[in-house]
């Protein structure tokens, strides 16, 4: 996209895929994203995932950078965007400010207050003591294998061996960085793909369950319900209703 943006995670856990790397995110994770960055969020653990997303035009970014005497130039250079976890006190303060500004009508005062909040967010990143953790390269490789081969039976021990680490070490690191086991992550990827197929296709639930790698439709439905707190059929109906409303709101 042709704009800058801040993301600030309010609740839930996910993986931020950015410029070929996987970065675990959770509450209070603040990230500054540049126009050239290629990224997406993967909601692998919690359907209750919420975050603030603040788009910043190039003009506004340059205006703030000029006001701060060019100090933001260093944030354009790294391969990965600058990212950190802010304090809980700061998280609560920004949540209140951003919610209030989101509900406020457009005005000169609102614009000035938003720019002030953006300056504060930039200083949070500039003064951060530690960056957000990046997964080891071998974990990136294993996640790539899982996400590309989720439809088949996945032999995690063979994948671990091919990555040059023990299966036990893989399990420890998945729990350390992502809070789940490799097997749970495989299921999460399959459910993520199933949810997309439910919305984007007319395939029946049995077909979708087999297509994403589940061999038992009853087990698939139980796992889907645990993940999304709703059955696959109700999920499809709900999302189709949302699409219908959006279409009619724009016509």
How do residues 79-124 score in pLDDT, each as one tens digit? 889 999 999 999 999 999 999 998 888 888 888 999 999 999 999 9
* Farthest-apart Cα atoms in the chain, separation: 60
Indicate whether 249 pLDDT > 90: no
Whole-model pTM?
Answer: 0.72
Indicate whether 28 pLDDT > 90: yes
Indicate whether 45 pLDDT > 80: no
Indicate whether 155 pLDDT > 70: yes
Give the residue among 150, 145, 186 at the shortest CA–CA distance from 163.
145
Mean pLDDT of 33-47: 80
Contacts of 158 (CB under 8 A, 6+ apart): none
pLDDT at 220: 95
β-strands 39-42, 4-11 pairing: unpaired
- The confidence band for 240, taking pLDDT boundaries of 50, 70 and 90, is confident
pLDDT at 251: 41
Residue that is written with structure tokens 């749970």 in the block: 184
Q: Under a CB-based contact definition with an 8 Å cutoff, are residues 189 and 146 in contact?
A: yes
Which is more confident, 77 or 96?
A: 96
């Amino acid at each position: 996209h042709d704009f800058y943006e801040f993301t600030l995670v309010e609740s839930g856990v996910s993986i931020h895929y950015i410029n070929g790397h996987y970065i675990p995110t959770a509450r209070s994770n603040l990230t500054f994203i540049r126009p050239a960055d290629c990224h997406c969020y993967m909601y692998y653990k919690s359907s209750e995932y919420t975050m603030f997303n603040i788009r910043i035009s190039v003009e506004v970014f340059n205006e703030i950078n000029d006001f701060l005497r060019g100090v933001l130039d260093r944030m354009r250079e790294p391969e990965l965007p600058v990212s950190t976890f802010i304090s809980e006190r700061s998280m609560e303060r920004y949540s209140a400010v951003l919610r209030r500004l989101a509900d406020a009508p457009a005005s000169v005062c609102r614009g000035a207050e938003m720019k002030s909040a953006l300056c504060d967010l930039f200083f949070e990143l500039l003064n951060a003591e530690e960056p957000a953790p990046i997964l080891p390269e071998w974990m990136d490789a294993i996640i790539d294998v899982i996400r590309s081969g989720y439809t088949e039976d996945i032999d995690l021990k063979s994948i671990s061996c091919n990555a040059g680490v023990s299966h036990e070490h893989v399990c420890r690191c998945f729990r350390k960085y992502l809070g789940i086991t490799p097997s749970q992550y495989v299921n999460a990827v399959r459910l993520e793909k199933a949810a997309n197929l439910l919305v984007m296709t007319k395939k029946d639930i049995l077909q979708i369950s087999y297509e994403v790698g589940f061999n038992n439709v009853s087990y698939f439905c139980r796992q889907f319900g645990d993940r999304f707190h709703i059955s696959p059929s109700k999920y499809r109906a709900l999302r189709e209703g949302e699409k219908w409303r959006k279409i009619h709101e724009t016509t």
